[in-house]
Chains A and B, each alone.
Chain A
Amino acid sequence: MVIVKRKQLTLGERLYLPEIVRGLSITVRKMFAKRATRQYPEEPLVTTAVTRGQPRLAMNPDQTLRCVSCGMCEAACPAYAITIDAHEVEREIEREPEHFEIDMLRCILCGFCEEACPKEAIWMSDELELADYTRASLVYKLDRLVRPVSQLQGRIDYIEEINRRWNN
């Protein structure tokens, strides 16, 4: 059996009203303080270059993919989210992904793919939202992964800066 010893209330506490006033004063003060919460769907998340969102593939200004489908991200991915099939193209870099799939339901946004990529082709974008009605539609194919380099530039600059600091 556990005996709980109750705290003896002081006179001020037993008078009741001073405590009510103290409590209400906290409530009123917080009404005017800076809010800690956000109205999420209406107010989107603030993202920065540090935000590690969903991986995206960079496309050069001349509409060519940077990715050569070397399979490094596929090998590095701890969640087995990436599947790549290559094919031959007539450019100087002979190889390009024919299919590039990232299963966003599997992706854990760890950023290993970005780190493994030897061609600076895959970057963690600031896109975070992931909602749909079917599982199949959340396996992203090339058409939903490719972004112009300009859109990813913030992240690219940030990673380059980190690498520079690390190497010196």
Chain B
Amino acid sequence: MTRIRLNGKEIDADKDRPLIAAALANGVDVPHYCYHSGLTPVGSCRMCQVEVTEGERPARVVAACRTPVSEGMQVETQTPAAQAARRECLEFLLKNHPLDCAICDKAGECQLQDYTYAEGQSEGLSAEPRRKLDKRRSLGEVILLDQERCILCSRCVRFFEEVEGQAQLTIAGRGANSTIQTFAGRDLSGNYQGNVADLCPVGALTLKSFRFQARVWNLTKRASTCGECSRGCAISVEVLRQGQVKRIRPRYEALVNRWWMCDTGRFAFEGATLSGRLEGAQLRGYSGLEDCSTSEALAAVATGFAVHTNHVFIASPWLTVEEGRDLVELAQAVGAVLRMVSPEESGLADKILNTGDPCPNRRGLADVGIESASAPECLQLCTGAETATLVGERVVNLVGREALSEHDGKSRLFVFDTQALDAARVAVQVGVASWVERSGTWVNADGHESPIAAARSAPAGVCGTQGLLDDLRALVATCAPGSVSR
């Protein structure tokens, strides 16, 4: 630790990190575009200039991201010299920036926009026209590049070199002709491309899937946890008008994902908002599955538990710890065999974040005492028992939708899934909320507990799994085995 004086206040700074890190850690906002805590500082944007006095030497203006801290250093961020240096740099950055904030998806969370309001002047001095470049250059499936907006901070270049491990972007051309390009015009590849859209301090690299989808200030952001692998990256789920999930972005979590997340998780919401949701409850009647109220459906399930013996419960790995605990209690009350269906490895495992195990809460459910079993084992259990209860989102797909609908065992299926299963053996099915509509806790592969939060309300008629399990538990207590005649 090194003592330095920042804007007249004595602070402790980490001597291995640049001066800007000390300033940001102490709540002093120093403008910066190229500096990112997760990447090597390069000092290319020159926006973090501050005035530094060391010992007897006269004060000088330096880039805070490339200056190491030294004992007794005096730093001033708001002196006229530092402000003028920043303002002049900003004007050069804006020289070729198109100022098309009205159509830019970054507007509202753009650092260039923010600092221009805070520090810049309203009119430029340059009389030359802005350079005209490609505004819609596709860099593969995920990313779209607007070369006019780019301020050449090189964050994206460093991300691929340092985090993803393979250089994919570079600054090509010299001087005023510099542009961001891929090598030989190839598309970007890999499972981490989406991160460069978050990293980009301006609107140059944007997500194709988010293009013109929403203005960012209209999005409601909820802190949650990614459910696509057992890493459990901290994310923020962003919802437009209480309904549509528009994007998912990583949230800084030092112990899990730091600033990043993989594209599998980033675009998973497209599955979460999938149409064809099972809304409300259905009960097997004389003419097939008929709509009924949730309480009727639960009563039928409880009666089924009382009338039959030999029950099997299959849990989805998306259940939260709280739901898992309730399910264990219910299984004990009914006397059922309880297993979590464990899908095969997704094949997406890498050295950065993705673990390849698609169960976000395997560890949490194991901790509350739910053993896992492979899909064929679960299917065998289901067909062998008199009643099989499938609980949680995607559980039908994981056990095998086709196999469940075709099986010729005698078991009755009670399904609590997000999507309907149209099979002759289904006795009761109730629609449940998906992971963007429920709250609870997941435990990742390393034992890190993280919350999931309901980012939007479930469709009408869809209940939370925990409420259903609690109601079912109460019903089972009232109709004990033998109290209902066969």
- A30→B217 CA distance, assembly (Å): 59
Q: Are A68 and B103 in contact (CB under 8 A)?
A: yes
Q: How far is the CB of A111 from chain B (nearest CB, A)?
A: 19
- A68→B215 CA distance, assembly (Å): 12
Among the 9-residue stretches A20-28, A35-43, A45-53, A70-78, the one with 4 or more Cβ atoms under 8 Å from chain B is: A70-78
| Residue in B closest to A70 when the chains form the complex, CB atoms | B102
* Given A94-B135, A94-B136; A72-B212 close (CB under 8 Å): no
- For residue B37, CB closer than 8 A to chain A, the reply is no
| Residue in A closest to B211 when the chains form the complex, CB atoms | A88
* Given A94-B103, A94-B135, A94-B136; A70-B212 close (CB under 8 Å): no
| Residue in B closest to A117 when the chains form the complex, CB atoms | B102
Residues of B within 8 A of A74 (CB): 215, 218
Q: How far is the CB of A83 from chain B (nearest CB, A)?
A: 8
- A53→B218 CA distance, assembly (Å): 27
Q: How far is the CB of B333 from chain A (nearest CB, A)?
A: 49
Q: Are B102 and A119 in contact (CB under 8 A)?
A: yes
| Residue in B closest to A87 when the chains form the complex, CB atoms | B212
| Residue in A closest to B136 when the chains form the complex, CB atoms | A94
Q: Are B136 and A70 in contact (CB under 8 A)?
A: no
Q: How far is the CB of A122 from chain B (nearest CB, A)?
A: 13
- A168→B213 CA distance, assembly (Å): 40
* Given A87-B212, A88-B212; A68-B135 close (CB under 8 Å): no
Q: How far is the CB of A99 from chain B (nearest CB, A)?
A: 12
Q: Which of A71, A87, A88, A93 contacts B215 (CB 8 A)?
A: A71
Report the interface size class on chain A: 10 to 19
- A72→B213 CA distance, assembly (Å): 15
Residues of A within 8 A of B241 (CB): 83
Residues of B within 8 A of A94 (CB): 103, 135-136, 212
- For residue B24, CB closer than 8 A to chain A, the reply is no
Residues of A within 8 A of B101 (CB): 70
Residues of A within 8 A of B103 (CB): 68, 70, 93-95
Residues of B within 8 A of A93 (CB): 103
Residues of B within 8 A of A86 (CB): 212-213
- A118→B102 CA distance, assembly (Å): 8
- A72→B212 CA distance, assembly (Å): 14
- For residue B62, CB closer than 8 A to chain A, the reply is no
Could you list which residues of chain A lie within 8 angstroms of chain B, going by C-beta atoms? 68-72, 74-75, 83, 86-88, 93-95, 118-119
Known: A70-B215, A88-B212. 18 other contacts (CB 8 A): A68-B103, A69-B212, A70-B101, A70-B102, A70-B107, A71-B215, A74-B215, A74-B218, A75-B215, A75-B217, A83-B241, A88-B211, A94-B103, A94-B135, A94-B212, A95-B102, A95-B212, A119-B102
